[in-house]
Amino acid sequence: MKRISISYLLFAFLPALFAQQPHPAGHHPFQAQTPSTLKYRLDPLDQADVVEITNVAYELVGSRIPGRPRDERLVLRKSTRTRQVVGDMGMEANTTIEAWPLGVDPKQKPLYSIAVPGFDPVAKNDDILVVSRGVEEVEWWSVYKLGSGERLFDTYVPVVQFSVRQNQRYAGLEAPPDDSTDARLKAPNVVAVLTYASGEKVIREALVTCDDPQRARLLRSYADSNRAVSFNRGALRLTISQNPPSAPASVTIAIPIAGDDLDFGHIQPPAGLHVTAWKR
């Protein structure tokens, strides 16, 4: 008699076993397809090349997204439309991010939808979304909660990510523009606002000011200065340097983190600069 091993029988029946597994309630097989497009034309007025691109990408994220059920995954549809005149500085860009729980047909209403001027939407660590907003001369980014699409903060330096007590944390820095909607940030002594956050909320904000209004204007200027934020040895370090042809004249402020908060009591800023707790 021919002998058939148990492993062979299991292998033979596996497809049938998986085929019989029911889908979760309300979940049915589907297929989604969204085209990307490229358009090129010659502007009849100035004879310039114009390129319009629409890129659509799907992404699966999860399964430990803050604010969402445990083990739930989300499907993101990220649509970016750009228009660029070849040879000109900057471009027009708009991004829409839509999210559905895995198994829900994208033809249904999304869990949330974000529409924002910008490009290059990126999901990080299954808890935040980052969109580049710098479509002209100044680079900046907006950060959103991955689970709900709510805005967390804006930053004029790349998002800094690090771990505190084995928890993922983020930092950003806002150099207030002249047209800031918050009147407090139009004060002549304001330099910047540092944000310390998790993927669920802004934990603390710190306002950096300078006694000398002229120096404050220089330190917050996009044209005259550049800014960097890093995390090292338990502290966030903000460095502001002047751009060429001026000498760098860098200033650095170390802001310690104690527990899971900014430690304002142990900040030792350079002379004439101050760091205080602040809230929008």
Tokens found for residue 269: 């800023």
Burial class of residue 199 in the structure, from the number of CB atoms within 10 Å of its CB (0-12 exposed, 13-18 middle, 19+ buried)? buried
Query: Residue 181 — left, alpha, or beta (φ > 0 → left; ψ -120 to 50 → alpha)?
Result: alpha
Indicate the average pLDDT of the chain. Answer: 89
Q: 152-188: buried (b, 16+ CB within 10 Å) or exposed (e) per residue?
A: bbbbbbebbeeebeeebbbbbbbbbeeeeeeeebeee
Tell me the mean pLDDT in the region 184-189.
94
Using CA atoms, how far residue 94 sits from 38, 131, 225, in Å, is 15, 10, 28
pLDDT of 137: 82
Distance in angstroms (rounded) separating the CA atoms of residues 179 and 134:
16
pLDDT of 29: 83
In this predicted structure, the answer to whether residue 33 has a pLDDT above a threshold of 90 is no
Q: Which residues pair with 173 in a beta bridge?
A: 194
Tell me the mean pLDDT in the region 84-94.
87
pLDDT of 14: 41
CA angle 91, 95, 98 (to 5 degrees): 175
pLDDT of 24: 56
Tokens found for residue 264: 């304002």
In this predicted structure, the answer to whether residue 105 has a pLDDT above a threshold of 50 is yes
By mean pLDDT, which of 4-8, 133-137, 154-158, 217-221 is the weakest?
4-8
Give the DSSP H or E segment for 141.
strand 141-145
Check: CB of residue 176 under 8 Å from CB of residue 220: yes
pLDDT of 89: 78
pLDDT of 186: 93
Tokens found for residue 58: 């799907």
Considering only residues 165 and 219, tell me which one the structure prediction assigns the higher pLDDT.
219
Q: Classify residue 12 by its DSSP letter.
A: H
For the chain, percent of residues with pLDDT exceeding 70: 90
Residues 133-151 pLDDT 10s = 988 788 999 999 999 999 9
**CB-based contacts of 169, cutoff 8 Å, min separation 6:** 161, 162, 163, 196, 197, 198, 203, 260
